[in-house]
Every structure is written in C-alpha cells, then in structure tokens.
A and B are shown apart, each in its own frame.
Chain A
Amino acid sequence: MTLLTVALNNLRRRKGRAAFLVAGLLIGVGTVVALISITQSMTGQTKANLQSYGANIVVTPRTKDVALSYGGISAGGVSVGQRSLSQADLARIATIPRHADISAVAPQLVGAVRVKGHRVLLLGVQPEQQFKLKRWWSVGSGHAPTNDHELIAGAAAAKALGLTMGDYVHIAGRRFTVTGVLSETGSQDDSLLIVDLGAAQQVLHEPGKVTLVEIAALYAGAPVDRIAAEIGAALPQAKVTALQEAVKSRQQAVDQFRRFSYAIVGVVIAIEALVVFLTVMGSVSERTREIGVFRAIGFRQVHITRLILIEALIASTAAGVLGYAAGMAVTSIVLPLVAHSAEVAWAPLLGLAAVVLAVAIGGLASLYPALHAGKMDPTEALRAL
C-alpha cells in the first residue's frame, strides 16, 4: 500500500468521477489532436502537390520576347530564345548559399527539327533530372533514354508521326530508337520528341548550350523567391523566374488554417485547464472528510498534495492516450471531407505530445486544488472531532 495504490483504487472504484475527469481532458486533447493532424495532413498534401507540380524556378536566357509559353518556346515552335545558356555555367547554381534547398536542376535544350516531313520540337534533357522534376511523366512499359541514340515521344507527336515503341526515327541524319511514348499530359509536352541533352546539342548544333533550366525546390515552403534571386546573381546573363503556382496559394490557405487551428488549440487548452481545475477542486471539496481522516492518521500536507496530483496525472495520462485515439478517429472522418486526396498522417510524436500535453494540463490545473487539499484544516475536515 502506497499513495499510488490509494490513488489507483480511488480512480478504479469511483469510476464515474474518474471518467468525468478523463472525459473533460479527453475532449480537449482529442480536439487538439484532430486540429493538428488535419493541418499536418493538409500540409503534407500541399507538399506532395508542390513536388508533383514540378519546377518552382525557370532559368532562361535573357531575350526580348515577352510571350513565353514554355520557358521560351511557343506552340508554333519557332520563337526560341535568341541566346542560349552555357551548360557549363549551370555548375554555378550548386554554389549558391541555398543550394541545399534545391531537389532537381533540369537543363533542357529545345529546337525545331524536321521528322517525316513534319516540323516538331526536339527537347534535349538529362532524363534522370527531368523525370524527377516531372513526376507525372510516364512511359508505360518503355523507358527513358539511357543513351544518345534513344528517344521518347510525346503522345501527340507519336500520334502525328505514327511512332510506336521500337520504331526508328531519323533526325538530321542521326538514327534514334523510340524507347517509349509519354502518356498524355494535356500539356505542351505531348508534342515533343525527347532525347538525351547531349544528342540534342549535336542534332541542333548547339554544343554545350541549353535553352532553359527548370529547378525544383526541395520541400514545400522553401524560400523559392530567395533561391531564384541567388541563382539570378550567380547567372547574370540569365532570366530567373520564380513560378507563382496555384500550390503556393493553396499553401497560404493551409497556413491560414494552421494559424486558425493554433488559435483554437489555445482556447481549447485554456478551457480544458479550467475544466480540470473545477473538477479536481470539486473532488477535493467532496473529499474533505476523507482528507481529514488522512491527516488525522498522520499523512503530511505533502502526502495529501501528492495523492491528489498522482490521481490527476494518472487520469491525465489515460486522457492523453484516449484523446490521441479519439482525435485521430475524428481526423480520419473529417479529413476526407475537407481535403479529398489527403491521407491521415499517423504521427507517433503527436501521440507522445498529446500525452505530454494532457499530463501538463492535468498536473498544472490540479496543482492549486492539490495544494489546497494539503492545507485543509483537519478539524474542519473532521467535523466529528
């Protein structure tokens, strides 16, 4: 028999009172967990969107053209920038202070070529970087060019030129094997023939040159504008454009929701603390006589305080665990309604934080009632004496 045994027996055998305390905390913790996990899941979704969106920054040569629909390429395929960028200059991108925030640098060379009597756009890429950037690119059972004699065709180009996998294409006297056809993207990419950058440079007679560079930031919320400014400083001959994509405004909406959630969390925590305070204070008042007995049989003030706190902390721990479960359950119900494709992010850290939060609120809110209980006058408490 210790104070812990007494506390456990009280909670176990006075289930109604214990349940009330746990429920008060549970609702609060559950609300906090739900708000945070919904925010986290939405942020995760936005991050995924941002990554799948592709480039955040486009580097092009400085030209006098104003209407650039694809980083310097128009649908007509004739208005290519007047100047090219040197591929060798791109190494300077790796030297900018925020280079660690960059996930992909995809240099591209674009030029018009004649194939089977049609004028089409040839895009030279570094396949690995390009596919990293354009995650939605898919070549089905085919594969990206692995050498300078392989080619993949955009869906529309393949259709127009009657190309299928395994066909040969001759461009400027050079033979390419079609290793894949891009699934339809609904973008200008559908009209391209895509080869390795080196091969394109040879075919287009632009050795060591690139037309544009697409750059993707490493994570959602990376300071794209600052990265763009640093690249601009490193490549003064280039025009560096930070894309204002829809995802960014989505990110802003999520940020607003997050700030709103945190405000709600603050209010919930304050209410929760008040509920615990009133519950424990009420419990202490009801147990006046019992506390008097404890004091009469030799419990010190600190023993009484400790007993009340142990009870509150046990109930708080239970409320933290149950509150996390309840919050995640609410999240799994609510999240599909507010963010269709978002997945519930099960974060063990959030679970731990929920328990710590519950214990902290339970402990702090019970401190005054516990101290008050310890200071009760035993004769007041024991009216029989």
Chain B
Amino acid sequence: MAVAMSETDRETPLEASAPATSSGQDERAARFIDVRGLQKTFAGDGAPVHALRGLDLVVPEGSFLGVMGQSGSGKSTFLAMLGGLSHPTAGTIAVDGIDLYALPGERLADFRREYLGFVFQSFNLVPYLTALENVTLPLAVKKMPSAEKRSRALEVLERVGLADRGGHLPGKLSGGEQERVAIARALVNEPPLILADEPTGALDSETTVEIMDLFAELHHEGNTIVMVTHNPEIQRYFDRTIVLRDGRLDCELPACPVDTPI
C-alpha cells in the first residue's frame, strides 16, 4: 500500500524503495514493518543507556501486534522509533518499503501525517479544541476543502460512537470518551498503520473492553496496529504478541516461558 502525499508543500509522494510490481507489492505487504538490527543508546550524564540492543522484526500488513515487556524493556522507545519520532543509533526501520530514517528533512513529518495514526496513553488531546476540532487537527496542515475536513472528522467521530459529543472540550469528556476522540484523531487521515501506547492504561476495566473492541474492529477492517501495553488481559486481542527484555526481542507469546516478566 503506497500512500500518495496529499500535502501540497510541493513535495513528491513518499516512495518505497521496492519496485511497484505485483510481486513487489506482495513482498511489501508481507514485510509491511521491517525492522533490522535496531539499536538505540541514550547518552545520559552517567553511563550510556542501551534502550534497544539490536531488534529484528517483520510484521505483515493487517497485523495486530502487541508489544509487552517490563518498564525499561525498550518497548516505548521502539514505538517512538517506529513512529518516526526518534532516530536509531544503528539499524533501519522500513514501513511499507519506506526506509524512515533515510527520508530527507521534514519528510519524516509527512510520513507521520500520511502513514501513521498515534494513540497516546494519556489521550494527549489539545485542551482548547473541541472533540471535533481535535479529530480534524491532523488535517489542519493539508490542503483540502474545509467541508471535506469536517465531514471526514464527523465520519470518524461517528465511527467511534461520539457523533453527539463533537462540540465538547476534552475537559468535559470522560476518560473513555477522550480515548475514543484520540482514536478518531488517529483514524481521520486513514493511515495504513496505527500506533498505540498503553491506550487503556488510564481506563477502568469496562471502558478498556469497549476501547479494545474498537481496536479489534479496526483490525478486522484491515488496519495494521502496533500496541504497547503492560496489561496481559488485552493480549487476547492481538494476533501476535512480542515480549521485549533489556532492549531485545525476548520471546513471542504464547511461546514464552511461564516466568517471562511482562
């Protein structure tokens, strides 16, 4: 799936390095996320911190990948790098055949806008924008008729069951509703890849089920989702779960040893 850039900054579309032949497309779909030798070292005041120590991972298109592991295992660092937010110390990440960190200048921002939908743990809605405006936000820098932006935002807001709450500011919404708005914001650009960081971390168990059901629906509709979580109860929603440990891929559930810390 190659996404043409609709951003009108006189940029050319983001192009994958692989040829667009039928077999090439199959190959790209099979290796939709292609992580090779990924390393990340943070140079702190003391000794350098090795957050990732050489991660290799291939995720086919349409997967719902769960990333688990203890705090400090490197899962959030991995998600930030997969989201084009943090340059690796070594290794490569390709999404849909696009080598993210080989993109020049601000093309990485374009990649995030066109390819990714982020869902954050603490919702991270913009407090002075209504639910509808928050959902429309990723379209703010796209050349598109206002009416179309609005109708797309309304559509996804309805999709997450909040059609009647569009005019409310985030402060007037419940945690579950804010999470839905955050999901709608991630979907409004129709991105090929959704990244979620502990999306249920701040929710009660009932709301967690509602939100995970929503993610499951998105998965069944063909979206590729990568979700970082501590919560083993939602593991059942993933069609694949990897466990990181000390910056490395430790194992994949359910094949992990029983005493694997997650």
B120 pairs with A293, CB closer than 8 A = yes
Q: With both chains docked as a complex, state the minimum distance between the C-beta of A289 and any C-beta of chain B, in angstroms.
A: 7
Contacts of B112 in A (CB 8 A): 295-298
Per the bound structure, the CA–CA distance linking A289 and B137 in Å amounts to 15
Q: Number of contact residues on A: which range applies?
A: 20 to 34
B 193-229 contacts with A by CB, 8 A: 197-198
A1 pairs with B118, CB closer than 8 A = no
Per the bound structure, the CA–CA distance linking A302 and B9 in Å amounts to 11
- The contact of A293 among B124, B146, B198, by CB within 8 Å, is B124
Contacts of A300 in B (CB 8 A): 9, 106, 109-110, 141
Q: With both chains docked as a complex, state the minimum distance between the C-beta of B126 and any C-beta of chain A, in angstroms.
A: 6
Interface string of A280-322 (1 = CB under 8 A from B): 0000000001101111111111110000000000000000000
Contacts of A382 in B (CB 8 A): 80, 85, 120, 124
Q: With both chains docked as a complex, state the minimum distance between the C-beta of B96 and any C-beta of chain A, in angstroms.
A: 16
- The contact of B137 among A6, A10, A13, by CB within 8 Å, is A6
B 145-182 contacts with A by CB, 8 A: 146, 149-150, 153, 169
Is residue A202 contacting chain B, with contact meaning CB distance below 8 A?
A: no
Per the bound structure, the CA–CA distance linking A295 and B106 in Å amounts to 10
Q: With both chains docked as a complex, state the minimum distance between the C-beta of A171 and any C-beta of chain B, in angstroms.
A: 88
Per the bound structure, the CA–CA distance linking A299 and B185 in Å amounts to 14
Q: Interface with A: B15-23, B27-35, B128-136, B240-248, which one?
A: B128-136
A 2-33 contacts with B by CB, 8 A: 2-3, 5-6, 9-10, 12-14
Interface string of A182-214 (1 = CB under 8 A from B): 000000000000000000000000000000000
- Residue on A with the closest CB to B139? A1
B109 pairs with A385, CB closer than 8 A = no
Task: Please report the total number of B residues contacting A with Cβ < 8 Å.
Answer: 40
Contacts of B124 in A (CB 8 A): 289-290, 292-293, 382, 384
B 77-128 contacts with A by CB, 8 A: 79-80, 83, 85-86, 106, 109-114, 116, 118, 120-122, 124, 126-128
- The contact of A385 among B85, B114, B116, B189, by CB within 8 Å, is B85
Is residue B69 contacting chain A, with contact meaning CB distance below 8 A?
A: no
Contacts of B128 in A (CB 8 A): 9-10, 12-14
Contacts of A77 in B (CB 8 A): none
- The contact of B129 among A3, A9, A295, by CB within 8 Å, is A9
- Residue on B with the closest CB to A6? B140
Q: With both chains docked as a complex, state the minimum distance between the C-beta of A236 and any C-beta of chain B, in angstroms.
A: 75
Contacts of B80 in A (CB 8 A): 379, 382, 385
B113 pairs with A297, CB closer than 8 A = yes
B140 pairs with A1, CB closer than 8 A = yes
Contacts of A10 in B (CB 8 A): 128
- Residue on B with the closest CB to A2? B140
B 54-91 contacts with A by CB, 8 A: 76, 79-80, 83, 85-86
Is residue B138 contacting chain A, with contact meaning CB distance below 8 A?
A: yes
Contacts of A2 in B (CB 8 A): 140, 146
Per the bound structure, the CA–CA distance linking A371 and B118 in Å amounts to 24
B106 pairs with A379, CB closer than 8 A = no
Contacts of B111 in A (CB 8 A): 298
- The contact of A301 among B106, B113, B116, B120, by CB within 8 Å, is B106
B85 pairs with A378, CB closer than 8 A = yes
With contacts A1-B146, A5-B133 known, is A301 near B109, CB below 8 A? yes
Q: With both chains docked as a complex, state the minimum distance between the C-beta of A379 and any C-beta of chain B, in angstroms.
A: 5
A298 pairs with B138, CB closer than 8 A = yes
A 61-84 contacts with B by CB, 8 A: none
- Residue on B with the closest CB to A11? B128
- Residue on B with the closest CB to A385? B80
- Residue on B with the closest CB to A303? B141
Please give me the 4 A-B residue pairs with the lowest Cβ-Cβ distance, nearest first: A298-B113, A13-B128, A1-B136, A298-B112
A-B contacts besides A5-B140, A379-B80, 4 pairs, CB < 8 Å:
A297-B113, A298-B109, A301-B106, A384-B198
Q: Which residues on A are within 8 Å of B, measured CB to CB?
A: 1-3, 5-6, 9-10, 12-14, 289-290, 292-303, 378-379, 382, 384-385
Interface CB pairs A-B, < 8 A, 24: A1-B140, A1-B150, A2-B146, A3-B141, A5-B140, A9-B128, A13-B128, A14-B128, A289-B124, A290-B126, A296-B112, A297-B112, A297-B185, A298-B112, A298-B113, A298-B138, A298-B141, A298-B189, A301-B106, A379-B80, A379-B85, A385-B83, A385-B85, A385-B197
